[in-house]
Amino acid sequence: MSSTQLNIVIMAAGKGTRMKSALPKVLHKLAGRSLLQHVLGMSERLGQARRIVITGHGAEQVETAVAAPGLSFVRQMPQLGTGHAVQQAVPALDDAAPVTLILNGDVPLIRAETAQALVEACAGGSKLALMTIELADPTGYGRIVRDAEGGVQAIVEHKDASPEQRQIREGYTGMMAAPTAALKRWLSQLTNDNAQGEYYLTDIVAMAVAEGLPVTGTLAPSETEVLGVNSPLQLSDLERRFQRQQAETLMEQQGLRLADPARFDLRGQLTVGPDVEIDVGCVFEGQVSLGEGVRIGAYCVIRNATIAAGARIHEFTHIDGEKPGGAKVGAGALIGPFARLRPGAELGDEVHIGNFVEVKNSTLAKGAKANHLAYLGDATVGERVNYGAGSITANYDGANKHRTVIGADVHVGSNCVLVAPVEIGAGATVGGGSTITKPVGAGELAVARGKQVAISGWARPVKKPK
Ligand code: UD1
Ligand code: CA
């Protein structure tokens, strides 16, 4: 589509009373992104367009949250109905664009293909195109009133509808594509003479019919795409529908093996190689990449991480790289159960990180192992290092972080404190229970602990019988 073919108006001024939340409704999240971001992301795929968001309730918060180049905001204060909302956008519309697409900020799962089809139904501004939906229970929806030949005559809001009209099951989804010039004219003629005392956008349909402009009503391809969010329950329902779609796409198109697609949550992008298996209850956030043959155990949370081929992430492991690529796990590595990898954890091939081990801003070279109850922060760890249970790097002096460098083939015994900055040379051994404050040379044994004392003839106190 060439430049300025389309205006896109996104309505996001409503209060969202039924959310019972201080957060404006359109900022509530679905799969890690706000409802409004879903609609905006979709709208970017509609080619060159002028995009206008109508804000009102929590306007400042909404505008700050979604601000982007080329996006403009129009405020609607107070909110006197959907027609009144679009009236506020009129000065911001590009007259050179023959078609204006109207979307809802709280209808997050509309696909670009569907919105594009609606724009095309407007036929360059020679028709008014409505998106409709057949509903088992259309309560609350504006009804599509058609004549005997099936031509659309009007939309009648539920509260204004006669008992006969309420029998109509075709409802208006809230999305339409209108001729820009005619839309401006119709909006200026709206009145609020109706059951709710509001300016209804939907009244323009009868105006178009009166002018002899063709009106088309196109059924939405699926209910999921046109469902809006008005309550926490509806939000969770759409979340599950969206998660199911993502799971199915990954399974059908990439061969991902999910133990249960109903117990899978992706809040971002997941790329998977062949033969990847994910057990139940895992959450993936940000950008996560899983190489060939990776297996993820149950109940892991993995955010912004790259996991290479053949690695196994056991149950209840938490990996958080913070930024994309912020945590890396090498090929064939074994992580967890109950491991925690934090930002800057870069683990080489065949590294083992066992239960209750925390790694932050540290590089572990190939084959290094920390199998139990340990902390590695701001450390550089060489190949094949064995880091004992209970050992920690004391990397923080209360003001600054310092590095610990551990050479290849070092053996750190259990319960050691490596007080950074400190360096341990290749092949050195640190005796269990040592507090290391000075450098250890290559190949040396360092022992820094109280000597064992043997006291003979000592008697342990004994409880007296009652
Ligand atoms: C609207 C439609 C109805 C349709 C239904 C689909 C009208 C008059 N009715 O009804 O035919 O079946 O959506 O869900 O258009 N908004 C504003 N400013 C306002 C009022 C609303 O920005 O002054 C926004 C809301 O934030 C929301 C959208 O417009 O995103 C729809 O508003 P809502 O009050 O939900 O409209 P309904 O009464 O449900
Ligand atoms: Ca609504």
Token digits of residue 73? 């905001």
How many A from CA of 324 to the centre of ligand 1? 37
Average pLDDT over residues 327-356: 98
Phi-psi region of 182 (alpha: psi -120 to 50; beta: other; left: phi over 0): alpha
Average pLDDT over residues 395-400: 95
Return the ligand 1 atom nearest residue 14 CA: 26
How many A from CA of 133 to the centre of ligand 2? 14
Banded pLDDT at 2 (limits 50, 70, 90): very low
Which residue lies with its CA nearest to atom 35 of ligand 1? 14
- The pTM score is 0.94
> CB under 8 Å to 442, separation ≥6 — which residues?
407, 425, 426, 427, 428
Q: Please say if the pLDDT value at position 4 is more than 80.
A: no
How many A from CA of 238 to the centre of ligand 1? 18
pLDDT digits (tens, 9 = 90+) for 61-104: 999 999 999 999 999 999 999 999 999 999 999 999 999 999 99
Q: Please say if the pLDDT value at position 1 is more than 50.
A: no
How many A from CA of 174 to the centre of ligand 1? 7
Return the ligand 1 atom nearest residue 141 CA: 12
Return the ligand 1 atom nearest residue 85 CA: 18
Ligand closest to 105 (CA) is 1
What is the distance in angstroms between the CA of the first residue and the CA of the last residue of the chain? 93
pLDDT digits (tens, 9 = 90+) for 166-175: 999 999 999 9
Q: Please say if the pLDDT value at position 3 is more than 90.
A: no
Supply angle C-alpha 308, 309, 311, rounded to 5.
80
Sign, CA dihedral 110-112-113-116, equals positive
Nearest to 129, CA basis, from 184, 224, 205, 185: 205
CB-defined site of ligand 1, < 6 Å: 11-14, 54, 56, 76, 79-82, 84-85, 104-106, 141-142, 155, 157, 171-174, 200-202, 228
Banded pLDDT at 190 (limits 50, 70, 90): very high
How many A from CA of 32 to the centre of ligand 1? 25
Return the ligand 1 atom nearest residue 155 CA: 11
Catalytic annotation, pick one of 158, 314, 318, 372: 372
CB 12 within 8 A of CB 26: yes
**Residue to mutate, 82, 128, 152, 204, ligand 1, most ligand atoms under 8 Å from C-beta:** 82
CA dist., res. 120 & res. 410, Å (int): 68
Q: Please give the domain boundaries of the chain with CATH numbers for all domains.
A: 6-226 (3.90.550.10), 232-446 (2.160.10.10)
Q: What percent of the chain has pLDDT over 70?
A: 99
Buried b (16+ CB within 10 A) or exposed e, 417-449: bbbbebbbbebbbbbbbbebeeebeeeeebebe
Nearest to 9, CA basis, from 83, 109, 77: 83
Q: Please say if the pLDDT value at position 15 is more than 90.
A: no
The pairing of beta strand 170-179 with beta strand 128-134: antiparallel
Q: Please say if 402 is a catalytic residue.
A: no
Helix/strand/coil for 180: helix
Average pLDDT over residues 20-33: 97
Token digits of residue 126? 């020679």
pLDDT digits (tens, 9 = 90+) for 103-118: 999 999 999 999 999 9
Ligand closest to 84 (CA) is 1
